[in-house]
Structure 1
Amino acid sequence: MKPTPFLLILSLLVLTACNESSSSAAKEEGTKAPPARELAAGDVLVAKVAPLADTLAFTGTLNALDSSTVAAEVEAVVREVAVREGERVRRGQLLARLDNETLAQSVAEQEAQLANSRARLGLARVKRDKQRELYDRGFISRLAFEEVESDFQVRVGELKAQEAQLARARKSLGDTRLSAPIDGVVYQRAINPGELAQRNTPLFRIADLSVLELAASVPARLVGKLHVGQHARFSVEGLAEEFDAELVRLNPVAAGGTRSFTVYLRVANRDGRLSAGQFAKGGIVLNEVADAVSLPLAALHDPGSKPWVLLVEHGRIVKRPVSVRLLAEGAGRAAVGGVKPGETLLAANLLGVNPGDAVTLAGAR
């Protein structure tokens, strides 16, 4: 059957429509957006407000701020030792007692001699007063009166000398009782009962550990950033927590050979958890921000010029300028303004991820 003109025209229309449909599909296929990139949990972070401090790192040793050595003032046998190493003592508390029998006898003798001196002075005073009366009435010569007056002054001198000897004897007797000069902890005991205590030989060493001092070294190039009153935090081996300190002194002369300066930090140790001699490691706070979003430096771009970050908003990467309130290179973080708590940011620069890209989140940290 021979095709009619109507069928030919209809066939041409169908072919034309099919060609246009194929061309449109191919065009849409070529302009379709690439698929969204999935970001791993480690690729992003959630902005949070956290305190941040820029610190100057230091190492040093804790020392007792106040310590004392107790030595024997007299030579005598030790009769009693009342404390052991590691014990806490109060000022005036008995540490040891030395034999005092000989010294007690000496005090008794000096007291007796003082009584005799007072009696002799009393007689000399009576004699002088009588001679003065006779001299005033012209019954004796001036020379005779001066002899009596001279004898009286000699007795006065003898009494004073005897009083001084008695005071020394009493002091020596009191020195047989060794007591703590300060509140603190006995960290060395060098005597036992029955041993002979030599004069001026150290017998006890006591340290007040309620307040410690931390001596730390800092490089010369950084000492200009320090001043008295700055706050510091540090830790010691064996203890997990951090401790507070305050900068109280700076040595103005650099240590020979190292060109470093020694700074001194005061440490309150009322609970006694710290000990003298411990090695400490920490940082002196140079600047601190407590009310800003804190980010790792890897999430901050161009911090020295025009800082910016990359955020995830509505499934796309957005570049946003920020202000840097504090750059703490030692901590590897920065406190920034322009980011709200709870917003999601890229934790670091990701290869191939640019502003405007579509992304999906597998998680956040």
Structure 2
Amino acid sequence: MEKLVLALLHASRRLRRYFTGHVITVLTNFHIGTILQKPETSGRLAKWAIELGGHNILYRPRPAIKGQVLADFITEVPAGKIKECEMIETPKEDTEETWMLYTDGASNEDGAGAGLRLVSPEKHEFTYAIKLDFKNTNNEAEYEAFLAGLRLAIKMGAKNLRAHVDSLLIASQVNGIYDAKGEVMALYLEQAKELLQQFKSHKVIHINRSENKPADALSKLASTSFQHLAKDVRIEVLKNPSVLLHQVNVIEAGQPSWMTPIIQYLQEGVLPENKAEARKIQNKALQYEMNNGILYRKSFLGPLLRCVDPQDANYLIREIHEGICGIHSGPRMVVAKIMSAGYYWPGMHVDAMKEIRKCDSCQRHSPKTLRPKNDLIPRENTPAFQGGSNHLQGPPQTERETGWPPYT
């Protein structure tokens, strides 16, 4: 009862504006109002009763929920919709041509193995044992057995497949209940989904280990010793996993830039046909070196500077000048920051000055200069004050006529 009163107290504190300005009706099947109004109430209930007594609260019994739900359902779903739902028939599964697959994998100190049992619609069984000759975990061995069973079912021409696995992880990941954590598990899951798409219908069911004893025995037998097996058990040795653990992205070569002749000379020894250009490339190549296919410029005391093409150079200038941490600094500071970050290309100062001049913010918020655009000309250099002028031969002119004060 104290918990119920405490919940009501928290509601009144959170919704104080509504409790103070309106009549609050509390629907409950407990006698909260009677208990709070008892004179013998003491302790915390007495304090809470005093605080709740400042609000206009009415306690009423909760009405029946079942009748309300039926009324809402009748108003929301018309009679015509019910008839349409009754006309829809659920599709029946073609159990006559369904293949049954039972797989299991085992990994221990002696080795790793996989076992599978494929049952045809005519109740013909195909047993198969696989020895995994590479390092793997128990979950990876379970996936290898599952993938081998799918490949075998595809070769047998199965269209409808019902796979039974005793690994809850594989069943949950394939059915979308669990997410694949780790790159290896994600690759195995992707490979399993690609193989399952080749079936007309498929279903992956998790079963107990006791229901998968034949496949479990095959996997343990293949993982320990497989020299004295029966002749009807086929054994295959896998040297490599079924998925590519190391994926390589395709890298597209960029357009020729200032680095192309230097890279060709350092890697292949190719020089231009022009002797002057060839000598220039040979002299420049002394300041560069190749490391893992990337061109770097040597420095006297600092680390190697990675060379970039003009497109990346423009991006670096814009990012440092007006990026998220840019302060719209000048070209000298921008070049210094680029070199401290480990990048280089010839003509850094000129490119930085060209890009910074295009910055709209720097042009709008630059300080106003009061310096005149042209140099000032002193009065002694004007034609009116030169020695050969006709103005000095006549009488002195007034300031109104010449615009200058009279010369004396």
With the shorter chain as reference, the TM-score category is: under 0.3
- TM-score of the aligned structures, taking structure 2 as reference length: 0.16
Structure of larger gyration radius: 1
Higher RCO (C-alpha 8 Å, min separation 6): 1
Q: Which has the higher helix share?
A: 2
Q: Which has the higher strand share?
A: 1
